[in-house]
Amino acid sequence: MTNILLVTSSPRGAESLSTRFATEIAEGLKVRLGGTLLTRDLAANPPPYIAQAYINGRVAAPEARTPEQINAVGLAQQLVEEVKAANVIVLGSGMINFGPSSQLKSWFDHITWPGVTFDYSEAGGPQGLLTGKKVYLVTAAGGVFSEGHYAPFDFQTGYLRHLLGFIGLTDIEIVRVEGTVFGPEAAKAAIAATEAQVRAVLEKAA
């Protein structure tokens, strides 16, 4: 059975193109592959910023944790288990000031956990532990960042690929929607291009 985890993070609500296309991919995969679909909406239910209770609690023995630490670590454990249980992860990210939203960054801060989602090899290098999963990364930006003048300022896509790979999620397919701020016709063309990408993804997965 295929377990699909959909993670959306844009604060734009129904207007979010990253959420729209990530949802289309996740729901399309469920139709084609069967199984389950779990949605984690980080904009509607943002994880808190990590604080001392989480930092100290995750290295403390379970029986020694304070109530505050239990709550902080418990949330991280829940988020990690959702990722572990998934065969396929669909992640939607809208660019905020050249990078991902703070909600999505906080999610990664919770699931990037030494000894749980990554470790260090005998040679000393990092080794991701969440292997064998497929990731569809849907990124949205008003400008064009995949090429041209603004490509060096895309601190969203490369950063997310690095974080995913760091915890073992290296099988990543990227779907972009970009160039929507240059007028109605440009937005229409950008959306049509992304719709074509989504169809291709689903046809390949069928």
Instruction: In whole angstroms, give the CA distance from residue 118 to residue 129.
Output: 5
Between helix 102-111 and helix 67-85 the angle, nearest 10°, is: 90
Unique residue bearing structure tokens 């064998």: 132
Q: Are 178 and 141 in contact (CB under 8 A)?
A: yes
Domain interval for residue 98: 3-205
| Lowest mean pLDDT segment, chosen from 3-7, 25-29, 120-124 | 120-124
Could you tell me what percent of the chain has a pLDDT over 90?
Answer: 94
Q: pLDDT category, 141, cuts 50, 70, 90?
A: very high
> 154, 202 in Cβ contact below 8 A?
no
- Number of structural domains in the chain: 1
**17 known ligand binder:** yes
16 appears as a binding residue in the annotation: yes
Burial of 140 (0-12, 13-18, 19+ CB in 10 A): buried
As a whole number of angstroms, the distance between CA 115 and CA 162 comes to 18
Residue 194 CA to residue 175 CA, distance in Å, equals 7
Q: What is the pLDDT of residue 121?
A: 82
> What values do phi and psi take at 2, rounded to 5?
-95, 125
Q: Report the pLDDT value the prediction gives residue 1, as an integer from 0 to 100.
A: 79
149-159: pLDDT as tens digits: 999 999 999 99
Has 146 been labeled as part of a binding site? Answer: no
Averaged over 89-114, what is the pLDDT? 96
Cβ atoms 10, 16 nearer than 8 A:
yes
Q: Indicate if the pLDDT at residue 124 is higher than 90.
A: no
Distance (Å, rounded) from C-alpha 147 to C-alpha 169? 24
- For residue 14, the model assigns a pLDDT of 83
Of 48-57, 115-124, 131-140, 161-170, where does mean pLDDT reach its minimum?
115-124
pLDDT surpasses 80 at 206: no
Report helix angle 184-205 to 17-33, nearest 10: 20
Phi, psi of 51 (to 5 degrees): -135, -170
The rounded Cα 51 to chain-centroid distance in angstroms is: 21
pLDDT-derived band at 169, boundaries 50, 70, 90: very high
- Render pLDDT for 40-85 as a digit per residue (tens, 0 to 9): 999 999 999 999 999 999 999 999 999 999 999 999 999 999 999 9
93 belongs to an annotated ligand binding site? no
- pLDDT over 90 at 13, yes or no: no
Whether the predicted pLDDT of 118 surpasses 90: yes
28-48 mean pLDDT: 95
Write the CATH number for 168: 3.40.50.360
Query: What local confidence, expressed as pLDDT, does residue 31 receive?
Result: 94
